[in-house]
């Protein structure tokens, strides 16, 4: 049953003689058990842990690293196996299908790809599938975490099984209705037709096909060759709502008594409130209804956010010290350097040469454009929470614990989010809103000011990477990478309180969890002889988290820069060198594609250059070619209140994620990843000074803007032999980041060793005040019209 | 409290709110018009971009007292009404090009794109890469490339 898929293709003698056997295995791989659920209309379900038997990779010539055999997504998927529960597709009397997805839509397009899976097996148009986000479902245990680019990998099979069972039940009900047999019926667009011409719609069958008692049933999924929806470009199901302003985010919810609420925060990171000096004066300000001291600061509730901003700026609060008092970039860098593990390989002899370098990656903000926000309505015996949550079960558990309520008394609604990039794995807004609502005895609409998000929100941790590689006679003998990082917080665990607690334990705890994640996600795709990558973490005092990937963008960029150094040392072209040293043809194919389409090696003016890099993770492979303009007239171009610098003029990316369920959505994810990669390489970071981050909004945190964006982008979705989907949400960042860094090296002749490259240049802005903690809104908006 | 009257999305509205409250909060918290989004409150992210008398502006940085009775404010909700259709051509282009990812910035992006195209037209030009480089609306999902494609496509039908 678990026969290796590749083995059968690579003419393994044990399988080539049994072609029929292989065919039956393929059939078995599509045969699953699910349930018909007792309900008023037809409802079919599958266990969320379902997946086709995993196929191990073929033998790999030199020492495979863990992710090649068992990667982060296998861990996330297997975490679900013993504890999974049912997800249900319901057929409605209007002929539509409904499905509540136990994941968070944060912009990555999973409601669209999920609708496609249901539409495929049901043979109905995608627009007839209504996908909503499920409330926190504690019975799903591990299986309501949106992270690690895992949604599609984990849900691809069970969603199709549920839809296929519904389809089968509809066909059986139609056979009775039309007085014919199932095998003579055809279904198209939600209508089932008999050869006689008589027909019946799914809507008409919804009640008739419903069952009185839940029962197990078997079903076969569609063969890949029969797909008409999966694999075809599909526009997003929420596009109309998005462009009309009707798409509802947490802060847009119509709950009139949940009044605007914000928190006045300490001038240094994680400082706590000591005393309010002027409570009664601020409470008397126009529109202000409540003030309450909570663990994170002083909360203010009022009629409009504008008035709450005024009140927060007027508050006079004394503060206790924060968690990183006095620390700055330089002191954290010293901590990291002191913790770096030594490179282990001893000198290998007089003729062996080495390349070696150390890289520094500064703190970066993972703030989405929608600020951190939550609505909470806490009563004495129950609570209701609305927020964009990627780990809603553990959020529910912690809120219940804080409020002293049973878990079942806390209802947690997962709202669609205005971006996440890892931020919404943390439920700090939901927890804070619950604490404030309890303190005030009122429902609250909590919004973090942008400056709160920038200064006390989650950051991608500062890190160093030291690499030494040795080579002799055209071969790379060793490759060592020592990645040392400020601790990445995985306190959300795998989405529920057991692993969340494990990640918080003082011994083992976050470090062993982090090391596991690192080991399961990092691999070197080249034949570099003895390969050793390690992670060491220090200093858990910062508010860190994943940021559109965890370690890979930094680890990959350091590795690809050193790959260029190795190529140079061996007198080889960067593209040809990679080609020669790559472990697999699958990676070679994406590399060749970008070299061909991007015209690798074409002549460019002095000060401009191409860079090429690749990345392998999340069961996919990805290569990127970047053209970068570092000429003075470009670098020094002026845009008002903005950072300009080198300009990426063109990007070509080729991606193979296995089965691309929605190539159009995959292309969009790669385009977004490219913008992140450019920001990480060139412009965006946080500067830590004296215990706080200097950046306080989008005018000083230089995420990629139109004036930094490449005018030309081409994303090529590769045809793939792999039949199952891989991850996509974070996948475009690393290779774009690395290729930009490699292009910068080639354009300027100097390899950058700290990122982003502008971090140690003079600040491009005047830091905003820390007291009051948020800036006042300007009043001159009417002088900036166009 | 003082009353403020102005035209919003084709209809006269009167609100009873303090003079210095920025228009964004009057729209969102008082009038329940939630298409314009908050992303910074200091006129740098441009997520609240709307139109005043046809020109792009950011209501987060305009006290409500500065809005005159003769002023006409248009948010994304009122954009289709300016062309008398269910959708403005720029919204249609946004759907065709599948621009939105999380969608939070997109109402502002569309309002900015319409104003930018009109501005180029007034100057007798077709919108160009140089014009795009002047658009300050941030998109943290990184949809900039499709924004450019959709704006060019939408401009053709405007």
Indicate which CATH number applies to the domain containing A319.
3.30.365.10
pLDDT digits (tens, 9 = 90+) for A669-679: 999 999 999 99
Does a structural domain hold residue A452? Answer: no
Q: In terms of domains, do A276 and A350 share one?
A: no
* Nearest CA-CA distance, residue B150 and chain A, Å: 12
Does a structural domain hold residue A231? Answer: no
Residue A336, H or E segment: helix A329-339
Q: In terms of domains, do A276 and A177 share one?
A: no
Contact A245 B77 (CB under 8 A): yes
CB A449 within 8 A of CB A367: no
Q: In terms of domains, do A411 and A467 share one?
A: no
Mean pLDDT by 10 residues, chain A (786 residues): 30 33 45 87 83 42 52 55 67 96 90 96 97 85 72 88 95 96 96 97 96 89 95 97 97 96 97 97 98 98 98 98 97 97 83 95 96 98 96 92 94 95 91 98 98 96 97 93 93 67 60 76 91 91 90 96 98 98 96 98 98 91 97 96 96 96 96 98 98 97 98 96 84 96 98 98 97 98 97
Residue A199, H or E segment: strand A199-201
pLDDT for the residue A216: 86
A433 three-class SS: helix
Q: Which domain holds residue A96?
A: 5-53+61-221
Which chain B residue has its CA at the smallest distance from A258's CA?
B29
CB A89 within 8 A of CB A42: no
Backbone dihedral angles phi then psi of residue A427, each to the nearest 5 degrees = -110, 30
Give strand ranges (E) for B36-143.
50-52, 55-57, 72-74
Boundary residue ending a domain (A197, A221, A245): A221
The residues, ordered by sequence, that sit 6+ positions from A227 with a Cβ below 8 Å of its Cβ are A120
Does a structural domain hold residue A232? Answer: no
Q: Determine how many CB atoms are found less than 10 A away from the CB of residue A584.
A: 15
pLDDT for the residue A11: 33
What's the rounded Cα separation, in Å, for the pair A412 and A195? Answer: 49
Q: In terms of domains, do A640 and A669 share one?
A: yes
Does a structural domain hold residue A769? Answer: no
Confirm or reject contact between B37 and chain A (CB < 8 A).
Answer: yes
Neighbouring C-alpha atoms within 13 Å toward the C-beta of A520: 16
DSSP letter at A266 equals -
| pTM for the structure as a whole | 0.93
Contact A107 B101 (CB under 8 A): yes
Look at chain A and report how many structural domains it folds into: 3
Domains of chain B and any CATH numbers: 3-77 (3.10.20.30), 81-156 (1.10.150.120)
Confirm or reject contact between B9 and chain A (CB < 8 A).
Answer: no
Helices (H), B1-143: 23-25, 89-96, 106-122, 129-132
Distance set, CA A110 to CA A269, A360, A647 (Å) = 34, 34, 32
**How do beta strands A475-486 and A530-538 pair?**
parallel
Confirm or reject contact between A251 and chain B (CB < 8 A).
Answer: yes
pLDDT for the residue A69: 52
Contact A305 B36 (CB under 8 A): no
pLDDT for the residue A350: 84
Boundary residue ending a domain (A398, A422, A447): A447
pLDDT for the residue A61: 34
Q: In terms of domains, do A549 and A530 share one?
A: yes
State how far Cα A472 lies from the chain centre: 40
Q: In terms of domains, do A692 and A708 share one?
A: yes
pLDDT for the residue A702: 97
CB A388 within 8 A of CB A250: yes
pLDDT digits (tens, 9 = 90+) for A539-596: 889 999 988 888 999 999 999 999 999 999 999 999 999 999 999 999 999 999 999 9
Q: In terms of domains, do A552 and A489 share one?
A: yes
Does a structural domain hold residue A784? Answer: no
Choose among B40, B87, B133: nearest Cβ to A697: B40
How many Cβ pairs within 8 Å bridge chains A and B? 237
The residues, ordered by sequence, that sit 6+ positions from B11 with a Cβ below 8 Å of its Cβ are none
DSSP letter at A681 equals I
Encoded tokens for B95: 């759907």
Choose among A106, A242, A252: nearest Cβ to B34: A252
Does a structural domain hold residue A776? Answer: no
Q: In terms of domains, do A570 and A710 share one?
A: yes
> Best of B20, B140, B143, B146 to disrupt the A interface by mutation (most A CBs within 10 Å)?
B140
Q: In terms of domains, do A160 and A268 share one?
A: no
ipTM: 0.98
A111 three-class SS: helix
Q: What is the dihedral of CA A407, A408, A409, A412, to 10 degrees?
A: 80
* Nearest CA-CA distance, residue A54 and chain B, Å: 31
Choose among A304, A703, A710: nearest Cβ to B29: A304
What's the rounded Cα separation, in Å, for the pair B75 and B47? Answer: 11
pLDDT for the residue A28: 64
Nearest CA among A5, A7, A58 for reference residue A28:
A5
pLDDT for the residue A64: 53
The alpha carbon dihedral of A728, A730, A734, A740 has a sign of positive
Residue B63 with chain A: CB contacts under 8 Å: 779
Which chain B residue has its CA at the smallest distance from A110's CA?
B101
CB A163 within 8 A of CB A120: yes
Residue B19 with chain A: CB contacts under 8 Å: none
Confirm or reject contact between A72 and chain B (CB < 8 A).
Answer: no
Looking up tokens 């026969």 gives A3
Residue B96 with chain A: CB contacts under 8 Å: 235
Does a structural domain hold residue A786? Answer: no
Q: In terms of domains, do A288 and A378 share one?
A: yes
Residue B99 with chain A: CB contacts under 8 Å: 239, 243
Does a structural domain hold residue A335? Answer: no
What are the b/e assignments for A447-483, b being 16+ CB within 10 Å? bbbbbbbbbbbbbbbbbbbbbbbbbeeeebbbbbbbb
Contact A778 B95 (CB under 8 A): no
Q: In terms of domains, do A499 and A395 share one?
A: no
Q: In terms of domains, do A270 and A295 share one?
A: yes
What are the b/e assignments for A73-102, b being 16+ CB within 10 Å? bbbbbebbeeebbbbbbbbbeebbbbbbbb
Contact A369 B102 (CB under 8 A): yes
CB A392 within 8 A of CB A412: yes
Residue A304 with chain B: CB contacts under 8 Å: 17, 21, 25-26, 29-30
What are the b/e assignments for B27-57, b being 16+ CB within 10 Å? bbbbbebbbbbbbbbbbbbbbbbbbbeeebb
């Amino acid at each position: 049953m678990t026969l290796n898929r590749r083995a059968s293709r690579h003419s393994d003698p044990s399988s080539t003689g049994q072609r029929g056997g292989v065919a039956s295995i393929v059939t078995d791989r599509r045969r699953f058990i699910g349930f018909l659920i007792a309900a008023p209309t037809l409802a079919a379900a599958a266990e969320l842990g379902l997946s086709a038997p995993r196929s191990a990779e073929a033998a790999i010539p030199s020492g495979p690293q863990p992710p090649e055999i068992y990667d982060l997504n296998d861990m996330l998927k297997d975490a679900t196996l013993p504890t999974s529960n049912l997800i249900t597709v319901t057929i409605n009397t209007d002929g539509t299908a409904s499905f509540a997805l136990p994941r968070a839509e944060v912009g990555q397009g999973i409601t669209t790809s999920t609708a496609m899976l249901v539409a495929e097996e049901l043979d109905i148009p995608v627009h007839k599938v209504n996908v909503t986000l499920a409330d926190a479902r504690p019975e799903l245990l591990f299986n309501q975490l949106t992270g690690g680019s895992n949604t599609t990998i984990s849900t691809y099979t069970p969603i199709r099984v549920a839809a296929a069972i519904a389809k089968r039940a509809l066909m059986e009900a139609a056979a009775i209705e039309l007085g014919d047999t199932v095998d003579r019926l055809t279904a198209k667009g939600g209508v089932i037709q008999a050869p006689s011409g008589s027909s019946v719609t799914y809507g008409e069958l919804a009640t008739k096909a419903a069952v009185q008692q839940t029962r197990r049933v078997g079903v076969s999924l569609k063969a890949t060759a029969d797909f008409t929806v999966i694999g075809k470009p599909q526009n997003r199901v929420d596009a109309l709502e998005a462009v009309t302003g009707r798409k509802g985010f947490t802060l847009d919810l119509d709950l009139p008594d949940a009044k605007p609420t914000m928190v006045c925060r300490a001038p240094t990171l994680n400082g706590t409130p000591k005393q309010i000096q002027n409570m009664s004066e601020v409470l008397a300000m126009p529109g202000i209804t409540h003030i309450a001291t909570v663990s994170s600061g002083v909360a203010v509730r009022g009629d409009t956010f504008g008035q709450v901003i005024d009140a927060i700026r007027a508050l006079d609060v004394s503060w206790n010290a924060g968690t990183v008092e006095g620390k700055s970039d330089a002191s954290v860098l010293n901590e990291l350097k002191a913790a770096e593990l030594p490179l282990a390989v001893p000198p290998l002899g007089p003729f062996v040469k080495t390349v070696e370098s150390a890289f520094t990656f500064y703190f970066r903000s993972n703030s989405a454009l929608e600020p951190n926000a939550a609505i909470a309505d806490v009563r004495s015996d129950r609570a209701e929470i609305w927020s964009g949550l990627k780990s809603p079960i553990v959020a529910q558990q912690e809120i219940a614990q804080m409020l002293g309520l049973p878990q079942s008394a806390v209802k947690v609604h997962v709202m669609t989010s205005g971006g996440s990039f890892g931020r919404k794995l943390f439920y700090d807004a939901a927890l804070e809103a619950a604490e404030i609502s309890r303190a005030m005895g009122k429902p609250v609409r909590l919004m973090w000011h942008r400056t709160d998000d920038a200064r006390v929100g989650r950051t991608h941790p500062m890190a160093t990477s030291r690499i030494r590689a040795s080579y002799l006679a055209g071969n790379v003998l060793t490759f060592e990478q020592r990645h040392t990082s400020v601790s990445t917080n995985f306190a959300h665990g795998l989405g529920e309180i057991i692993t969340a607690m494990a990640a918080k334990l003082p011994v083992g705890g976050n470090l062993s969890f982090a090391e596991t994640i690192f080991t399961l996600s990092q691999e070197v795709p080249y034949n570099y002889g003895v390969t050793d990558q390690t992670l060491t973490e220090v200093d858990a005092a910062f508010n860190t988290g994943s940021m559109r990937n965890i370690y890979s963008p930094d680890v990959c960029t350091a590795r690809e820069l050193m790959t260029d150094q190795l190529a140079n040392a061996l007198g080889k072209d960067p593209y040809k060198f990679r080609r020669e040293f790559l472990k697999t043809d699958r990676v070679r194919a994406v590399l060749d594609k970008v070299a061909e389409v991007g015209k690798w090696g074409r002549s460019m003016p002095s000060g401009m250059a191409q860079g090429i890099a690749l990345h392998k993770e999340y069961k996919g492979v990805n290569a990127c070619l970047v053209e970068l303009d570092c000429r003075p007239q470009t670098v020094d171009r002026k845009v008002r209140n903005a950072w300009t610098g080198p300009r990426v003029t063109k990007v070509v990316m080729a991606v193979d994620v296995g089965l691309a369920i929605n190539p159009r959505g995959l292309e969009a994810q790669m385009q977004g990843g490219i913008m992140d990669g450019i920001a990480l390489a060139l412009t965006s970071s946080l500067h830590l000074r004296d215990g706080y981050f200097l950046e306080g909004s989008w005018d000083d945190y230089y995420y990629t803007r139109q004036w930094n964006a490449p005018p030309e982008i081409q994303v090529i979705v590769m045809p793939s032999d792999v039949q199952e989907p891989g991850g996509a949400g974070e996948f475009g960042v690393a290779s774009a980041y690395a290729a930009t860094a490699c292009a910068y090296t080639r354009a300027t002749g100097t390899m950058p060793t700290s990122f982003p490259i502008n971090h140690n240049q003079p600040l491009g802005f005047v830091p905003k005040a820390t007291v009051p903690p948020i800036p006042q809104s300007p009043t001159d908006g009417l002088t900036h019209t166009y | 409290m003082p009353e403020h009257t102005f035209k919003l999305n084709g209809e006269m509205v009167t609100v009873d709110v303090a003079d210095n409250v920025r228009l964004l909060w009057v729209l969102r918290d008082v009038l329940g018009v939630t298409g314009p989004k908050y992303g910074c409150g200091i006129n740098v992210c441009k997520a609240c971009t709307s139109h005043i008398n046809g020109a792009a502006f950011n209501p987060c940085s305009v006290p409500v007292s500065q809005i005159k009775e003769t002023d006409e404010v248009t948010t994304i909700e009122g954009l289709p009404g300016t062309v008398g259709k269910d959708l403005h051509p720029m919204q249609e282009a946004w759907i065709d090009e599948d621009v939105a990812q999380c969608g939070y910035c997109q109402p502002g992006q569309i309002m900015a794109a319409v104003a930018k195209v009109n501005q180029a037209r007034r100057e007798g030009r077709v919108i160009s890469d140089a014009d795009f480089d002047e658009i300050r609306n941030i998109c943290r999902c990184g949809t900039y490339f499709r924004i450019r494609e959709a704006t060019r496509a939408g401009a053709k039908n405007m």
